[in-house]
A and B are shown apart, each in its own frame.
Chain A
Amino acid sequence: MVTSTSLVNPSVLAPFGVVATGSLVVLLLEVLVGKRQSFLGRPVTREFVGTLLSGVSSIFLFIALIVAAQFFATMPGRIVFDPAHPMVAMDRLTAFATILVCIGSIFTCWLASTYLDELRIHHGEFYALLLLASSGMVLLVQSVDLVTLFMGIELMSIPIYALAGFARRDLRSNESALKYFLVGSFTSAILLYGMALLYGATGSTDFVQIRQAFDASNLLAIAGLGLLVVGFAFKVAAVPFHQWAPDVYEGAPTAVTSYMAVAVKVSAFVALLRIAIQAFGPMDARLSDLFWVLSAASIVVGNVMAVIQENVKRMLAYSSIANAGYILIGLAVGTEEAYAAVLFFLLVYLFMNVGAFAVVITLATGGKDRDRYEDYAGLSRTRPTLAALLTLFVVAQAGLPGTGGFIAKFILFSAALKQGFVWLPVIAILGSAVSFYYYLRLPVLMYTRDPEGAAPRMETSTGEGLVLCTCAVAVLLLGLFPAAGPGFLSHFRALEWVRETVALLG
């Protein structure tokens, strides 16, 4: 019996393993601790169990983050699980994406603890589902095979269906979960159909072998590629596959919304990037056209629809659709510089978007979100620090100079212009101009109007404070630091990792 056991690298799966093990530990810990009267000298209350599980979850995520960072720092190249059947790989791109996913999930743990108490839905299963979804994301960003890719997407999505409906007494949360579940199942079917066609056309599920066997004149292969892109367009909520996003984002508990808007998008985009580089690179012209149309439509529809929203969570949903449009510019352009710009954009997007949602979460009180625009009137009197932070985050999303949002858009658009794409940056800049209206509506309300209605929550928990501080510092640093030197992209070194990934295709 010939086996290739000696060549297998189980260490590739270390970050996934840590996060997945964490979910089991959290599930067991809830049962074991929940039954006791006191634990570690503290009386066991629901709040105590919640805080404990939140802490344990973030420790596991932090270990995974350290492992990924270790890979990132010492990575000589690219290692795969089993050279004969790669399945999952670890390289700089994967390690970077894993770090982003872990940061996003840790933020969600910290934000959820107090928020779920406020909504009176603090159950330990939340953290188990969160860790399972995160492990799916880690698997997704390191997949180099259609089968693992699909498993990653499902493992990411299924826990999030349940998380979206976590506020079981809230009808909007029920609606959100059902809509996300139905659209998600539909998406899975489309993705699976695309994968089946690609397998039929190329005879393999491995990215590299697909690329070697890919024949652009083959109808089957093109149909498979198209369906695959449509499936991902659903997951990242790109127009015209976006209709579910506003309802789902609005109804889900806000901690889950921020997780969906950030972690899901980051991992889906990195997976799409890897497919574009590894399975279909050098960029197929038709694929580029497809991304062009998705990008332009998302920027226009996302920004225009965001203007007419009366609910901050819905506004942020449309703004995340517009952001998906900006990111798709990088995929349409398809140069290494554009891919690097996408990675930097994702990094900045993580902090500014979580930051904005964190403010919404910190204001939630009395079992309800404060997510209508009127709730923000006069916030500068009642919660001056939060008002200032929210202003920073929306200004960064609008792309004002001095914030990370500006730099991210700048290097993305200049990469597009350099490659001769003129219309996409023009549409994007016009879209950003429109976005100033709906982003700046919040600061205007907070600073010029008197407070009205019920008072917001007056205290910020430690977890929320940590998230808000980290996001604010990151948004500012990523905006100010690059101004120190012109060759910023070489500082950031994303270009180098993308080059490595492209170079290691064979």
Chain B
Amino acid sequence: MSFAAGLFYVMAALAVVTALGMVLNLRNTVAGAMCLVVTMISLAVIYVVLDAHFVAVLQIMVYAGAILVLFLFVVMLLNLRSDAFTPSRATAPKVVGAAVGVAVLAAFLAKLPDALPKVAEIPADFGSYRQVGLALYRDYVVPFEVASFLLLAAVVGAVVLAKRRLS
């Protein structure tokens, strides 16, 4: 097994374990968020293994950086005590939910391998700065520019709802 393959398996296992750690960590939200950071970073390492360096950098900057910091801000701002969200006692919804989840997963696992299209060979420079730049500023320039209005809308909306006094 090559070094890259070994790194992939280690990081993939770490990503799965920490993702479970986030979902199952009901009592301590901060610990859950920290588990998510590790998931994001292991995914970034997998991107490096795949030679998509720019995507890896973005993964760390956007997810591990910005989004996780936002999560932690919200967690600390709300200052929830662990008993504020006691897991519900009712078992019926849990059992039904788990059954539906498992059924869907089984259906997907049974049929998915055939349903997946045969992927064409990925170009060598996939995920490079050049390719990402071309995709963003040439192919998808309209949605990219619209995103700025989307952010403006979110900012104005947040100010309208949250500012103490509107003049």
Please determine whether A3 and B156 come into contact, CB atoms closer than 8 angstroms.
no
Please determine whether A151 and B143 come into contact, CB atoms closer than 8 angstroms.
yes
Q: Bound complex: CA of A166 vs CA of B163, how far in Å?
A: 12
User: B106 an interface residue at 8 Å Cβ cutoff?
Assistant: no
User: B86 an interface residue at 8 Å Cβ cutoff?
Assistant: no
Please determine whether A13 and B149 come into contact, CB atoms closer than 8 angstroms.
no
Please determine whether B156 and A220 come into contact, CB atoms closer than 8 angstroms.
no
Please determine whether B116 and A220 come into contact, CB atoms closer than 8 angstroms.
yes
Interface bin, chain B:
20 to 34
Q: Bound complex: CA of A136 vs CA of B142, how far in Å?
A: 13
The number of chain A residues with a CB under 8 A from chain B is 44
Q: Bound complex: CA of A128 vs CA of B143, how far in Å?
A: 20
Please determine whether B146 and A155 come into contact, CB atoms closer than 8 angstroms.
yes
Please determine whether B111 and A159 come into contact, CB atoms closer than 8 angstroms.
no
User: A203 an interface residue at 8 Å Cβ cutoff?
Assistant: yes
Q: Bound complex: CA of A371 vs CA of B129, how far in Å?
A: 57
Q: A88, A159, A200, A203: which contacts B156 (Cβ < 8 A)?
A: A159
Please determine whether A132 and B152 come into contact, CB atoms closer than 8 angstroms.
yes
Q: Bound complex: CA of A340 vs CA of B9, how far in Å?
A: 56
With both chains docked as a complex, state the minimum distance between the C-beta of B56 and any C-beta of chain A, in angstroms: 21
Q: Bound complex: CA of A208 vs CA of B143, how far in Å?
A: 18
**SS of A interface (majority):** helix
Please determine whether B115 and A166 come into contact, CB atoms closer than 8 angstroms.
no
With both chains docked as a complex, state the minimum distance between the C-beta of A125 and any C-beta of chain B, in angstroms: 5
Q: Given contacts A123-B166, A155-B146, are A129 and B117 in contact (CB under 8 A)?
A: no
Q: Bound complex: CA of A42 vs CA of B53, how far in Å?
A: 60
Contacts of B143 in A (CB 8 A): 87, 145, 147-148, 150-151
Known: A81-B142, A123-B167, A220-B117. 9 other contacts (CB 8 A): A20-B149, A23-B152, A125-B159, A125-B166, A136-B153, A162-B156, A218-B115, A219-B111, A220-B115
Query: Which A residues form the contact surface with B (CB < 8 A)?
Result: 3, 13, 20, 23-24, 27, 34, 81, 84-85, 87-88, 123, 125, 128-129, 132-133, 135-136, 139, 145, 147-148, 150-152, 154-155, 158-159, 161-162, 165-166, 168, 177, 200-203, 218-220
**5 closest A-B pairs by CB:** A162-B157, A132-B153, A220-B115, A219-B115, A87-B142
